[in-house]
Amino acid sequence: DFHHFVHFLEPLFLGSTEVEQPKGTEVVRDAVRKLKFARHIKKSEGQKIPKVELQISIYGVKILEPKTKEVQHNCQLHRISFCADDKTDKRIFTFICKDSESNKHLCYVFDSEKCAEEITLTIGQAFDLAYRKFLESGGKDVETRKQIAGLQKRIQDLEAENMELKNKVQDLESQLRVTQVSTSPAGSVTPKSPSTDIFDMIPFSPVSHPSSTPTRNGTQPPPIPSRSTEIKRDLFGAEPFDPFNCGAGDFPPDIQSKLDEMQEGFKMGLTLEGTVFCLDPLDSRC
């Protein structure tokens, strides 16, 4: 049951090293050679190769210290791109994982007593189940969410464009009123009523103060509501709808980038491969 985990006790952990590519037999072969050589150096200096405990589940591959259970490395499955075991001595296995902090590809190498192939297959099965779970839990909606985010951005752009046009109209109306006042007959004391549109309505002017707005038919026009500058609102005065932020703290701010990252990792896939790492007498002595 991968909703819990499958654990393999105390394989030797040769270490991890940075690699240039996320996949490839030659890539892991060079990494294995490098770490095997480092192990021989450590042995000659009297250092012991540490044993670890592996926990494999649909959430990732954890490398723990066997006694304290302290997590030394936590490799999420969507970040694991390549996994291989040695078909010659049945002990060496390795996988490439993209580091969550540095985004570098790291190759992890282990020496497990006669179960390297089993561990490789287990990681492959966990990857497959994790991908299915990702799809069932909303991974299919990633593209839809991208489209909605794009539409929201378009609405914001249109709102900004609309506001800019309103400001231009108001400027033109102000210039027109100034022109009408300046061309009125000299000595006239009759107040000039404001210009009206084709429906005999006074043009809307949010910058006008209610007390300075002329009356029509003896009535004072209703005060113009002020727009809040603290909360960005749409054309109807409502806050823009955000289907992924229904309440404060419901989702982390980077949920979209996380979904994109998982989708990219799962789409790349996990390559399982059996190969030969021991190519010379030095390597064959594990």
pLDDT for 61 equals: 92
Q: What is the pLDDT of residue 82?
A: 93
What are the distances in angstroms from CA 188 to CA 175, 182, 198, 217? 21, 12, 26, 22
Give mean pLDDT in consecutive 10-residue pieces for the chain, a chain of 286 residues.
64 93 91 92 89 90 92 92 85 92 93 84 88 75 64 84 89 84 61 57 55 52 52 53 43 61 73 62 45
What distance in Å separates the CA atoms of residue 89 and residue 85, rounded to the nearest whole number?
Answer: 9
Spell out the residues 6+ positions from residue 125 whose beta carbon is closer than 8 angstroms to its own: 2
Question: What pLDDT score was predicted for residue 97?
Answer: 95
Phi first, then psi: give them for residue 243, nearest 5 degrees. Answer: -65, -15
Residue 201: the pLDDT is: 62
In degrees and rounded to multiples of 5, residue 168 shows phi and psi of -65, -40
- φ, ψ of residue 138 to 5 degrees: the values are 120, 0
Q: Give me the pLDDT at residue 14, please.
A: 93
pLDDT of amino acid 135: 82
State how far the alpha carbon of 111 is from the alpha carbons of 30, 50, 64, 266, in Å: 16, 11, 15, 27
CA atoms of 232 and 278, how far apart (whole Å): 64
Phi-psi region of 94 (alpha: psi -120 to 50; beta: other; left: phi over 0): beta
From the list 183, 20, 224, the residue with the least C-alpha distance to 107 is: 20
Q: Record the pTM.
A: 0.55
User: What pLDDT, on the 0 to 100 scale, is given for residue 282?
Assistant: 44
Looking at the DSSP bridge assignments, the partners of residue 12 are 51, 111
Q: Residue 219: what pLDDT?
A: 54
For residues 44 and 1, is the Cβ–Cβ distance under 8 A? no
